[in-house]
Amino acid sequence: MKKITNITGVVMILAYIAFLAIGWKTFPDEVPTHFSAVGVADEFGSKTSLFIEPAVMIGLFLLLAIVEHFPKIWNIPIEVNEDNEEDVLKACYGLFGVMKISIVLICAFSGFMCIYRDFPSWPTIMMVVIILFTIAVTVFKIYKCKLD
């Protein structure tokens, strides 16, 4: 699972950077830099601000990929022992995978919203809901390991 999400995430990041490079000359000189809660642009800046999304993508993706390699530092809400370790780690690795891919997608959709002002905001909201749902499911799976 780790290998698949890492490869997928890196490919998605590179695709977004390629999209920026290829389309750079066609993007407007001024792009939205902030949106209200209802998705209306309320602050604007230079198109160079579009580099924020790939920087955030790369930074958060690397942070999660690094932390994913050190299970001993994770704050797991139950005691992990030989009986439940495999199930707990599997649940946590799934959470890391969903979070890495979702963060890349959230940043990409945010960039699309800045470039294409009519781009819908619902994909970003959907990714946040998916992250929250995945966290809830993971916590449920972990506590289920405690009961088994």
Q: Quick: pLDDT tens for 28-38.
A: 999 988 877 77
Q: Could you tell me the end-to-end alpha-carbon distance of the chain, in angstroms, rounded to an integer?
A: 24
Q: Does the pLDDT value for residue 125 go beyond 90?
A: no
Q: What is the mean pLDDT of residues 69-73?
A: 90
User: What angle separates helix 85-115 from helix 122-147, to the nearest 10 degrees?
Assistant: 170
Overall pTM surpassing 0.75 (yes/no): yes
Helix (H) or strand (E) holding 34: strand 30-35
Strand partners, 30: 46
> Residue 86 corresponds to which tokens in the numbers above?
């495999």
If pLDDT is split at 50, 70 and 90, which confidence band does 133 have?
very high
Asked whether the beta carbons of 57 and 17 are under 8 A apart, the reply is no
Q: Which domain holds residue 31?
A: 2-147
Number of domains comprising the chain: 1
